Structure 1
Amino acid sequence: MSTESAGATETGAAGTAATAPAAPPPAPTTAPAPTTAPTVAAPAFAPAPPPGAPDLIEAGGVARPRRRLGAGAMFLAAVLAGPVIGAAVGYAIQSSRPPTPLPKITAPRLSYSAARVDPQALAAAGPSPLAIDGDLRKLLIERPAGSTELTVGDGDGWLSAADRAETFDDSEREFTGLLEDGFRRAAAVRWRSGDDSFRISLIQYSQESVVKTITGAVPRSTADMVVSKIPGNTDSYLMTAKDPYHYARSTETYYYGEALARKGTVLMTVQVFAKNPVDRAQFEDIAKRQWEKLA
């Protein structure tokens, strides 16, 4: 009788019993957590950068160079900040001062003289009347017998500033000059005798500018003219050209003569446009008769 247990397994090749393998472990439902990298402590003292290396700033673990303000940016900042700071300081100083009271508004009281005004005394205190007044056309001499009358202005004997300016080459400049010189009015008479044409003008200016106007009427250069005085008037000019001139925008030539004199605020001009050299005797006679009638 055997003493071994019935459930014991026999050893040996023949008697070895095959055992079933264990069931595999279940698959994990979640991925394993990543292993945390070990933290390395920063050194107590960082090594100094080599000379010339740019400064670095760590931002988010990335090293980048440090920005530096240039001289231009600093100068611009100073220029912009200067007025702002100055205005703030000025406002603070002004606001701390007490307000300055404004002076009271005053006006002189109107007063009227109780006494009656003397008309003669009032007229004597006012500006003196013009030396020549009234109708200037009555002060012009009559054209010689047998001559042909030429139209003046609108045909009534009066000359406006525009009519006077049209008798010059540069009409625009002459018109502006007349207005600036205090032109008031003018009267003229014109006629033709043979191949010569004459024009006499009486031009009146304001009292304030008459002296300047008369002085400016005298030509600056008379080298090409024969200059003398109007008989009976030492403060006058009588000029006749030695050489012929050309009409504006024309090849036709003429000999020119002009006489100038002043009576009060009126400038007298006598002009002649001749085909041949001016007859001085005839021209002096016309200028003398006109001056005597004006004076």
Structure 2
Amino acid sequence: MSAFPPPPAESSGPPPPPRDLPQGPSQDGPQDGPGAPARRRGRTAPLIACAALLGTVAGTAVGYTVQADRAPTPLPPLSQAELSYPDKPLPKGKEPEPLTAGQDRRVRTDGDLRELLVKRPRGAREPDLALDDGWLSPSAYASKFEHPDHMFTTLVQGQGLRRVASVSWEEGRYREVRIDLVQFREDRERSAAGFVAEQQAYMSGADHAGNGGKPLKGSGNGRYYVYDEPRRKPGYLPMYQVRAIAQRGDVAMDIHVYDSEPISERYISSLAERQLERL
């Protein structure tokens, strides 16, 4: 069997008449009906589109012309009438005096951060596990949280933790106090303020009975927290807790106090205010 179709059979009759070509409209006018020639279509839509485009261009040109002839509308005045610094360098001898170490907060925090910690009260005891040099390693600080591994990664890699200065003491029968000054590098963002905001959100969450805390006087964003209900564990004394956290520049202040008896608001707020003043 051949793979190709057979050639058409040759016809001995006359050739077929030529195929009809399209015809134009009749001179007698349009005709309808099955025998009428087909109407030519397709020109009306392009003509309408061209007319719409020309109308849009013309309208835009007229709009620009009208706007160009109008007087410019003055802008409202700025809230700050003039800049706080001169537009030209001051002559020699009239430059402002540089900030002193007492005025420049960055000068103080770039120095020995341990010197900005409050001193142990007179009569307070040094804890058995007190730091020898006053520095707390990033891993040791992260170990104070419920999820140390995650906290270490967040502090060091995410927020750029620089160093932690710490002091602690014991007073009374069972009271323990720890103050940490957590400093960040802040190369790209305000990590200290972000860290404080995250901790405050955590403290006000469901795990801490939604305690929103109270504003810390003179801090701007600082708050202190007092919990009336202690943590209880079989075989141990009840543990009451208060906390204060605030931010100054690139340093976050974090204060924890624990006791087997309730801790007053006055105690934690006064301690936090004294530490904040040193920053």
Note the C-alpha offset of 1:140.
Answer: 0.4
Letter in 1 for 2:254: T
Match of 1:261 among 225, 246, 255: 246
2:274 & 2:146 partners in 1: Cα distance? 29
Give 1:203's match in structure 2, choosing from 171, 182, 200: 182
Gaps of 5+ in 2: 1-104
Q: Are residues 1:171 and 2:148 paired?
A: yes
Structure 2 counterpart of 1:69: none
Closer, same or farther in 2 for the Cα pair 1:163/1:275, shift >3 Å? same
Misfit runs of 4+, over 6 Å: none
Aligned to 2:144, the other structure's residue is in SS state coil
The structure-2 alpha-carbon separation of the partners of 1:168 and 1:141, relative to structure 1 and needing over 3 Å to count, comes to: same
* Contact 1:191 1:199 survives alignment (8 Å): yes
Structure 2 distance, partners of 1:162, 1:246, is 27
Asked if the contact 1:153/1:163 (under 8 Å) is kept, the reply is no
User: Does the C-alpha gap of structure 1 residues 151 and 200 become closer, same or farther in structure 2, counting only changes over 3 Å?
Assistant: farther
Identity of aligned residues (%): 30
Cα distance in structure 2, aligned partners of 1:268 and 1:211: 10
Cα distance in structure 2, aligned partners of 1:183 and 1:246: 33
CA distance in 2, matches of 1:293, 1:250: 40
Does structure 2 retain, via aligned residues, the 8 Å contact 1:224–1:241?
no
Answer yes or no: is the 8 Å Cα contact 2:113–2:165 preserved in 1.
Answer: yes
**1:182 partner letter:** G
Match of 2:161 among 171, 183, 192: 183
Distance across 2 between alignment mates of 1:176 and 1:253 = 32
**How many residues are paired up?**
166
Deviation of 1:153 after TM superposition, in Å, equals 6.7
CA 1:220–1:196 in structure 2 vs 1: closer, same or farther (change >3 Å)?
A: same
State the TM-score, normalizing by the size of structure 1: 0.51
**Which residue type is aligned with residue 181 of structure 1?**
Q
- The aligned counterpart of 2:229 is 243
Report what 2:132 is aligned to.
155
* Offset of residue 173 of structure 1: 2.2
Cα contact 2:239–2:259 (8 A) shared by 1: yes
Work out whether residues 204 and 210 of structure 2, in 8 Å CA contact, stay in contact via their aligned partners in 1: no
* CA gap 1:156/1:250 in 2 versus in 1, 3 angstroms: farther
Q: 1:186 to 1:169 in 2, by over 3 A?
A: same
Structure 2 distance, partners of 1:253, 1:169, is: 19
How far apart, CA to CA, are the structure 2 residues paired with 1:169 and 1:236? 22
RMSD: 2.6
Structure 2 partner of 1:289: 274
Q: How has the CA–CA distance of structure 1 residues 276 and 172 changed in structure 2, closer, same or farther, with 3 Å as cutoff?
A: same
Alignment check: 8 A CA contact 2:193 2:247 kept: no
- State how far apart, in whole Å, the 2-side matches of 1:167 and 1:160 are: 11
Structure 1: state its 5+ residue gaps.
Answer: 1-128
Higher strand proportion: 1
Cα distance in 1 for residues equivalent to 2:204 and 2:212: 14
Give secondary structure in 2 for the equivalent of 1:148: coil
Which letter does structure 2 place at the counterpart of 1:286? L
Q: Would the aligned equivalents of 2:165 and 2:180 in 1 still touch at CA under 8 Å?
A: yes
Residues 279-288 or 165-174, more deviating: 165-174
Task: Give the letter aligned to residue 274 of structure 2.
Answer: R
